[in-house]
Amino acid sequence: MKTISRLALLGLVASLAACSALEPDKIDYKSAGKAPTLEVPPDLTQLSRENRYALPGAPVSANSYQAGVANAPGQPTAVSSVGDVRMERSGAERWIVVNRPADKLWEPVRDFWQESGFLLTTDQRNLGIMETDWAENRAKLPQDIIRSTLGKLVDTVYSTGELDRFRTRMERTASGGTEIFISHRGMEEVYSTSRKDQTIWQPRKSDPELEAEFLRRLMVKLGVSQEQSKALMAAGPVVQTSRISNVGGQPVVQISEGFERAWRRVGLALDRTGFTVEDRDRAAGTYFVRYIPPNPDKKEPGFFSKLITFGQAGKADAPLKFRIQVKSQGEASTVSVQNEAGAPETSANAQRIVQVIADDLK
């Protein structure tokens, strides 16, 4: 179908459905891909496999963990943990901590995303990272007679104009457990001309509440009941502040948090904002990253047209390598940018990276 015809039909659907009721609280994702192809991100070369996330046996059943929570006397209003799963939070950011090793969680977490309607494009056990493909939340579509007829006939045209992608990162804790982080990236389809005869895909803001909902659902997958997962999510936020300053001519982000929370929040910020974490050294407080600055002049492919290639528009651009350094003293931390050799970075790129991180930490 030609672009102009497709847009005309899309406009017709939008006008007919304008008064239809949406159900924003529901989540029903449909993958944009057509085959469960696993691949390395376009700006990350394949790393050698390691056995630290290798699974020695079958997946762990969540049923074996129900006994520890079955006798809970009702649901507290500010519960922080259930069984071996607990929720931690800093501002709008949340993550879960599970008292199980990462190699026992990898398979259940992978199953969780596939059961949620996603395909995985990244499955890097050696890095503790998996990432879904781009998918559409079909629950946002109008549930009316228009969709039940036209939607079935022209399903690829009848769309929300939004796509979501999620990255899961696992990190070991000193006690042998695992911290699980989920970060969201979104795209939206917008008109690129005043005549509204062409569209492009452009990034939209990450959604912390959508991240939180998938964390809640993952807790259910790991053995927490629906009611208990909602109680875990109900804990009030811990408000923290961050600001940009200049230290010795170098731009830095200052965070009013100790190392543990600062390290986690910076990791989430990197996941959300287009960085590829090649490696990390928690003891040294260093993330080794590749970053391709977004190019607003580059157009993304049309809806359901090579959707699996999102993020590859910058493939021809040489990625920039940096070290993101987190240093802490007491309950205050500083985030700075270093070049590939580990020297302080004061360039315009450093200014831009610091601003991107600070904006996400707000």
Q: Residue 69: which pLDDT band, with cuts at 50, 70 and 90?
A: very low
pLDDT at res. 334: 93
User: Quick one: DSSP state of residue 132?
Assistant: E
Residue 278 has pLDDT above 90, yes or no: no
C-alpha count within 13 angstroms, C-beta hemisphere, residue 347: 7
Stated pTM of the model: 0.60
pLDDT in tens, 97-136: 999 999 999 999 999 999 999 999 999 998 899 999 998 8
pLDDT at res. 183: 92
Residue 299 has pLDDT above 80, yes or no: no
Q: What sign does the CA torsion over 336, 337, 340, 342 have?
A: negative
Per-domain residue ranges of the chain: 1-54+77-236, 240-362
Among the four given CATH numbers 3.30.310.170, 3.40.50.1980, 3.90.1300.10, 3.40.50.300, the one describing domain 240-362: 3.30.310.170
Q: Residue 25: which pLDDT band, with cuts at 50, 70 and 90?
A: low
Tokens representing residue 11 in the block: 């406009």
Q: What is the Cα gyration radius of the chain?
A: 22
Q: Residue 157: which pLDDT band, with cuts at 50, 70 and 90?
A: low
